[in-house]
Structure 1
Amino acid sequence: MKILITGATGLIGQRLSQTLLSQSHHITALTRSPERAAKLLGPNVELWSSLAGLSSLDGFEAVINLAGEPIADKRWTTSQKQILCESRWQLTEKIAELIKASTYPPSVLISGSAVGYYGDQGQALVTEESSPHQEFTCQLCSRWETLALAAQSEKTRVCLLRTGVVLSSEGGALAKMVMPFRACVGGPFGDGQQYMPWIHIEDMLNAIQFLLNQPSLKGPFNMVAPTPVRNEQFSIQLAKVLHRPCFMRVPAALVRCLMGESAVLVLGGQQAVPQRLIDAGYQFRYSTLQPALTEVVK
């Protein structure tokens, strides 16, 4: 299968590219830094620096769109919000336009989103049918998904990845969480009752491939494990796996002071479950937290 991947040098994209290559797929990666991408992805990935000049995506059988500025790396100033949005919206819109202009378009577009689509849902159970709250993350993800869905037709199905916290030993959010625990100053954020939807990197990769190979599947999918946990439970389990204490609760006021509006990423949450993946028959390798954290930390 000939596959175009955006965001191929990111946490998910890099592993996914290597996995698909090992299965004899032909991978083309769209990247702003071909030199860096060549070092990370190796010589067998074709590299593009731009979609400029293309009139269609004829020849590609699938597109996996994972590109986007990291959402938690900086405070959400007005300019940073614009960067977060444009890094997702502009590329997704261009991909959809090229798919629609294709005589023989890709059969599937798998496009990124996040559980942030739902906003802070408190203690409510969240499935793909749940209504979102109107917060910045919802506005960002909702527009992102709408632009991707514009590519859908009788020839092209669109799958949307509403992703939670991805657990990986290679970076991402977990790397930041681990640091204070290793220094013996880790603990829950705020009251710790907010839910943290999570997914092991192996399940993330396997579920994307599951969607890639199931021609009947389309629409939104919560890319999370079946057992979301509260922040306090997550902190206790992480401390246990690291053999460190868990007693330094981080006051919500301090988090808001340090992070500003983006504090909702850690003080809010969603009790999201992967209902549509389960209904489709996907089998999770890591469905509970402790085995997932143990494998990642090892």
Structure 2
Amino acid sequence: MERLRIAVAGASGLIGSALVRSLAADGHQVVRLVRRAARGASEVCWDPERQYVDTAGLAGCDAVVNLAGAGVGDHRWTDAYKKKLRDSRVLGTAALAEAVAALPEPPRVFVSGSAIGYYGETGDRAVDEQAPPGDGFLSSLCVEWEEAAAAAQEADVRTVFVRTGLVVARGGGAWGRLFPLFKAGLGGRMGDGRQYWSFISLHDEVAAIRHLIDAEHLSGPFNLTAPRPLTNREITAAMGRVLHRPTPFPAPAGALRLMLGEMAGDVLGSARVLPTRLLESGFRFAFPGIEDSLRAALRA
């Protein structure tokens, strides 16, 4: 197996840290982008909000993976926090894309983060990568996020956008909050529970990113979601079965809107997103179902 030199922005996050572990375990050289002075050849200094990247540190990289961005669910969406969400993604992506394009020998591939929020509210309608962007803050954010990679594309660097769904993992994201609630017997559906949640196991998320790094003919957007999205009601029932806990406490839509503000739309909204291009590329999911994904997360 060819050993690669791969730079990762967002290496301390849920997905980034799992990706780094996976790459390092297979003998690849991982270069982390850090927001302080670099400590050796395995780190590169950058500041996404200031759009600064120590470009020299990326020299010799076969791939650059950008997974950096402030957490969507970490705070209420005040105007100030929405600006932080945007700047951490759009400015950081633009800085990395420009750094990649400026290298005398650019990497083979630039993998840039995105999200299924691109599609907005889809209701019961299934969508794949051919669907246009939706409406609302997350949709417009994702459009800008992807457009920010233009410099890499214009430099003929193969550019891949990973539109990630809800990652099933204990260590963070939506399930990092759901597991403790459900284990305590306090879990339940959200709103009427009929909204679709497009999930993916952390294992498959990392495997898909690595697949897209390696597949030299693949570029453009890819939905990183399991093949069969489920409703929140179905996922709630699966959580109860896997954890052997009752799920008696639904969270009313009104209460969620009061507690979460504008972000409640992301929880109550329906996104039925299919990974059409990923499946067509030959990728095979290790954990395609929700119960398998939940058990894999609990074993990790």
Q: TM-score range by the shorter chain?
A: over 0.9
The aligned counterpart of 1:275 is 276
Give the SS at the match of 1:215.
coil
Unaligned 5+ runs, structure 1: none
**1:196 and 2:192 are equivalent in the alignment:** no
- Cα separation, 2, equivalents of 1:116 and 1:127: 12
- Cα separation, 2, equivalents of 1:118 and 1:249: 26
**1:141 and 2:137 are equivalent in the alignment:** no
**Cα contact 1:242–1:297 (8 A) shared by 2:** no
The aligned counterpart of 1:211 is 212
Q: Scaled by the length of structure 2, what TM-score is found?
A: 0.92
- Cα separation, 2, equivalents of 1:235 and 1:263: 17
- Cα separation, 2, equivalents of 1:179 and 1:85: 29
Give the SS at the match of 1:72.
coil
**1:48 and 2:41 are equivalent in the alignment:** no
**1:25 and 2:28 are equivalent in the alignment:** yes
* Structure 1 residue ranges, 4+ long, deviating more than 6 angstroms after superposition: none
Q: 1:285 to 1:159 in 2, by over 3 A?
A: same
* Superposition deviation, residue 185 in structure 1: 2.0
The aligned counterpart of 1:241 is 242
The aligned counterpart of 1:223 is 224
Unaligned 5+ runs, structure 2: 47-51
1:80-91 equivalent positions in 2, closer than 5 A: 80-91=81-92
The aligned counterpart of 1:4 is 7
Of the structure 1 ranges 176-185 and 47-56, higher mean CA displacement relative to structure 2 is found in 47-56
Aligned length: 291
**Cα contact 2:11–2:32 (8 A) shared by 1:** yes
1:155-194 equivalent positions in 2, closer than 5 A: 155-194=156-195
1:260-271 equivalent positions in 2, closer than 5 A: 260-271=261-272
- Cα separation, 1, equivalents of 2:169 and 2:57: 35
* 1:229-271 Cα deviation digits (max 9, x unpaired): 0000001100111111112111000000000000012100211
The aligned counterpart of 1:110 is 111
Letter in 2 for 1:262: M
**Cα contact 1:5–1:30 (8 A) shared by 2:** yes
- Cα separation, 2, equivalents of 1:126 and 1:251: 27
Letter in 2 for 1:278: L
Give the SS at the match of 1:48.
strand
The aligned counterpart of 2:75 is 74
Give the SS at the match of 2:55.
coil
- Cα separation, 1, equivalents of 2:42 and 2:68: 17
**Cα contact 1:56–1:99 (8 A) shared by 2:** no
Letter in 2 for 1:14: S
Letter in 2 for 1:241: V
The aligned counterpart of 2:151 is 150
Give the SS at the match of 1:176.
helix
Q: 1:52 to 1:162 in 2, by over 3 A?
A: closer
1:89-108 equivalent positions in 2, closer than 5 A: 89-108=90-109
The aligned counterpart of 2:133 is 132
Using the aligned pairs only, state the percent identity. Answer: 37
RMSD between aligned alpha carbons?
1.9
The aligned counterpart of 2:49 is none
- Cα separation, 2, equivalents of 1:169 and 1:72: 15
